[in-house]
Homo-oligomer: A and B are copies of this chain.
Amino acid sequence: MSLIVQKFGGSSVANIDRIKKVAERVASYRRKGHKLVVVVSALGDTTDELIELVNQITDEPPEREMDMLLSTGEQVSVAILAIALDKLGFGAISFTGAQVGITTDSSHTRARILSIEASRIQEELKKGNIVIVAGFQGITPKHDITTLGRGGSDLTAVALAKTLNADMCEIYTDVDGVYTGDPRLIKNAKKIDEISYDEMLEMASLGAQVMQARSIEVAKKYDIPIHVRSSFSNNKGTMIIREVKRMEDVSVRGVTLNKNETKITICDVPDRPGIAAKIFKKIATSGINVDMIVQNVSHTRITDLSFTVPTASAARAVKITKQLSSKIGAGEIVEDQNVARISIVGVGMKSHPGVAAKMFDSLAKIKVNIEMISTSEISISCIINKKFAEKAMKTIHKQFNLGN
């Protein structure tokens, strides 16, 4: 008999039929005697529908009120799942983030969890009830409702697993697990049976949309085993676990592709200390995440500075950069949405020399120009022209022999 935290994403609870299926799955675990805490996202398109309502009023709503609004989506889901479980004859009780004491800071729309006070959950588990918790949300010490940012329900699940000392955290999604490459694009992409926290973290950050990156950080920190699997089948998915030795046999674990980035170039930047700091500090305080940064070597006193941001933030980033450019005496701003980031990830990379060269070689063979390069301990990313993205992905996947 284990304590299991299960998280079901929006596609798993898109409509009443799917919620009934989720209830049946949860019930089947309860029947085996497990204690269950179930974290649920908002039903299908609820969040988008609520945002659409707000857009009829303004495109700059106060963030506190957006959190108040959007947190209702998960509250609806948990109540309906509890009702579905009751109908199946199982004791179930739903809670908001506030009710189970998920206390966060007050950074609305992207709050960080400070603590969880889980006594009410423990009490209900002791009674034999299935506990259902609204994902994605928390409450500040002053009782303002917050949300945890995109993918925040993953974070709720992992944080609860840590607080309750759960034996397992299961993340149910619409795919079978984590793949060596996007299975919609690469026919022979292989499901990965085991992946380390670090690799998963890189893959999530680099475009694999299976799990929220922050939640993986927490899982790593507290060593919480995670099972990513499909809510539409009973197949074993991917286990995300601490790095084990045998993993290093594989140099590259998978390939990821991100087509939602925009490259921004500031031309003719004066090449003196402190300029880059000034630019990126300004962008960061506007809440925009910069992904890659490349500064060309300068032979004169000026240089070009390129960086990528999520396309959704591009317009704001360009606006900020234009204002800055004239202040610091730099030149024009060039925006290029026509790019894609292709990355390879693998802990084994550290001990396998030549991995980068092999990746660049793959791209060269199909005559794809590399516009930017960035590397970490366990990943290599290239910015290329978007139109070659799929072809490049397939080629690299094959080159590293990742398929079945």
Q: Could you tell me which A residues sit within 8 Å of B by CB distance?
A: 16, 19-20, 50, 53-54, 56-58, 61-62, 64-66, 68-69, 71-72, 75-76, 78-80, 82-84, 86-87, 93-94, 96, 98-99, 120, 143-145
Contacts and interface: CB of A to CB of B under 8 A. Distances in A.
B75 A68 contact: yes
Contact of A79 (B66, B78, B87, B120): B66
B50 A65 contact: no
10 contacts: A53-B76, A57-B83, A57-B84, A64-B93, A68-B94, A71-B75, A72-B72, A72-B76, A98-B98, A99-B145
Contacts of A78: 68
Given A79-B68, A143-B120, A57 B87 contact: yes
- Of the listed residues A82, A83, A98, the one surrounded by the most CB atoms of chain B closer than 10 A to its CB is A83
Nearest to A139: B99
Nearest to A86: B62
Given A57-B84, A65-B80, A72-B72, 4 more contacts: A64-B93, A68-B82, A72-B76, A98-B98
Contacts of A84: 57-58
Nearest to A59: B87
A62 B76 contact: no
A76 B72 CA distance: 7
A66 B94 CA distance: 11
Contact of A16 (B56, B71, B86): B56
Nearest to A56: B16
Contact of A143 (B69, B80, B99, B145): B99
A60 B54 CA distance: 34
- Of the listed residues A72, A82, A99, the one surrounded by the most CB atoms of chain B closer than 10 A to its CB is A72
A10 to B, nearest CB: 15
Nearest to A16: B56
Contacts of A145: 96, 99
Contacts of A57: 16, 19-20, 80, 83-84, 87
Contacts of A72: 72, 75-76, 79
A107 B75 CA distance: 20
Contacts of A69: 75-76, 79-80, 83
A96 B96 CA distance: 12
Nearest to A67: B79
A65 B131 CA distance: 12
Nearest to A74: B72
Contacts of A94: 65, 68
A19 B65 CA distance: 15
Nearest to A58: B87
Given A72-B76, A94-B68, A82 B62 contact: yes
A15 to B, nearest CB: 9
B79 A65 contact: yes
A228 to B, nearest CB: 28
Given A82-B68, A83-B65, A76 B58 contact: no
